[in-house]
Amino acid sequence: MSSAHHFIPSTADDIAQMLDVIGVRSVDDLLEPIPADIRRNSVLNLPPTLTEAEAVRLLRAKARENAAADAMSFLGAGIYDHFVPAAVDAMLQRSEFYTAYTPYQAEVSQGTLQAIYEFQTMVCELFGMDVANASVYDGSSALTEAILLARAQTNRNGVVYAGPVHPYYRDVARSCTVGVDLEFIESDTDDGAASPDAVRKLVNNTTACIVVQQPNFRGIVEDIAPLAEIAYKSGALLIVSANPLALGILEAPGRQGADIVIGEGQSIGIAQQFGGPVLGLFAVRDELRRRMPGRLVGRTLDSRGQQAFVLTLQTREQHIRREKATSNICTNQNLMALAATVYLSLVGAEGLRAVAEACIQNAHYAADEIAKLDGFKLAYGKPFAYEFVVRCPIPAARIVETLLARDILAGVDMAQFGGQTDELMIAVTERRTRSDIDALVEGLRSIG
């Protein structure tokens, strides 16, 4: 008997045989332990089955609807339109990496382990830290793990957010720690940035960590050193969520007193990809290495005295008793970490600085030109990198919608993140030319 569905290989006879072995008469009997009120009994309203050719045609039509593919993008808020050299994908798609992307049989995966080791080394150099792990899922999960590490290290439960930290990161941290004794506190800001005086008033002997984003969620460059001093004097840890590409110009957080530096690695070699997959970066001071979650690759010598790479300090729940595990992360974003490694290897230290400089120069040119327009003004007077907030004479949502028709993705309407309806956040990367920026400015002029 053939299968009733083109893409489901199990026939009715196969299903009957499996149910017999399990010892139930039907699929409904198999699902009986699931409470009836959460089971769906209605028929799924699915479209007719497509042939492979029809499916390809549909997917190509959907792909053509992706405005970001051809439009001038000034979108940001955590995912950015940076150039990714072709060599990055060429390396990712090599079968040695692509078919063995996670080292479950670690010691025979020497190429994969070496790539991770190089990745860890680069993250440490970028962040100015001692030890980095093999990556975590994304920037938000990295923040969650950092907060849990701080709680375990200090035996305290207070989390103080200094300045604007990405709302999605804060939401993930709160959701993932339900049931954990943590108190999240947001400090007042000073012209869109962290206020050391406001933070100092909130920090006490119950504070596990201070969290700051660099640059912060509104694009402003934060002064980390005063926050590090507050954390040090109170016995709390300082967590910095840093944009790695911006660190081509900005001082490494580790050299400013950070205890834990995490970040989203999408900007260093990973395309936007509808928001994922992306890459969580995680690095700590040496004293915290045994509390660090996830994989850690080390370099050693084998029995013949030759260089070898191994998984070390394996404190995940797969390896030790659950109550002693640093986290339940059982894998890492290895292909994305490889992408970042290849990208950083290609551009080098000078190239990374050049990309960061191009972004900053483009952004400041755009900000200066927009500020000349009637009704438009920069929301803050603090230094920013390559993302900034503009106050508009009409709702930002109307601007976004109007310019989309001209193939311009004008920016992010900050109202969706709890901001004012007239706030538009604009990110300008190295991919935007002077004519692109002029087109955005002209578009704002015409509708403002």
pLDDT per residue as tens digits for the range 34-68: 998 888 778 888 888 888 899 999 999 988 887 77
User: Which whole number is the average pLDDT over 321-347?
Assistant: 84
For the beta carbon of residue 158, count every other beta carbon within 10 angstroms. 22
DSSP one-letter string for 39-79: S--SPP-PPPP--HHHHHHHHHHHHHT-GGGTSEE---TT-
What are the structural domains, with CATH classification, of the chain? 67-83+348-447 (3.90.1150.10), 86-342 (3.40.640.10)
pLDDT given at position 139: 96
User: Which whole number is the average pLDDT over 158-168?
Assistant: 97
Query: Which residue(s) pair with 94 in the sheet?
Result: none
Nearest to 163 by CA among 211, 112, 226: 211
- How does the average pLDDT of the chain come out, rounded? 92
Question: How is residue 352 annotated by DSSP?
Answer: H
Task: Report residue 270 as tokens.
Answer: 């990973």
Coil, strand or helix at 382: coil
pLDDT given at position 328: 66
Choice between 229 and 316, residue whose per-residue pLDDT is larger: 229
**Calpha distance 147→151 (Å, rounded):** 6
**What's the one-letter identity of residue 281?**
L
Backbone angles phi, psi at 395, to 5 degrees: -55, 135
Residue 99: pLDDT over 60: yes
Residue 108, burial from CB neighbour count under 10 angstroms (0-12, 13-18, 19+): exposed
pLDDT per residue as tens digits for the range 348-364: 999 999 999 999 999 99
The residue to which tokens 């969580």 are assigned: 280
- Indicate the pTM of the whole model: 0.89
pLDDT per residue as tens digits for the range 369-428: 999 999 999 999 999 999 999 999 999 999 999 999 999 999 999 999 999 999 999 999
Nearest to 243 by CA among 432, 429, 78, 431: 78
Backbone angles phi, psi at 388, to 5 degrees: -155, 160
pLDDT given at position 12: 87
- Is-contact 196 160, C-beta < 8 A? no
| Residue 216: partners with Cβ closer than 8 Å, 6 or more residues away | 163, 164, 165, 192, 193, 194, 222
Stated length of the chain:
448
pLDDT per residue as tens digits for the range 433-445: 999 999 999 999 9
> At what angle are helices 434-447 and 334-371 packed, to 10 degrees?
50
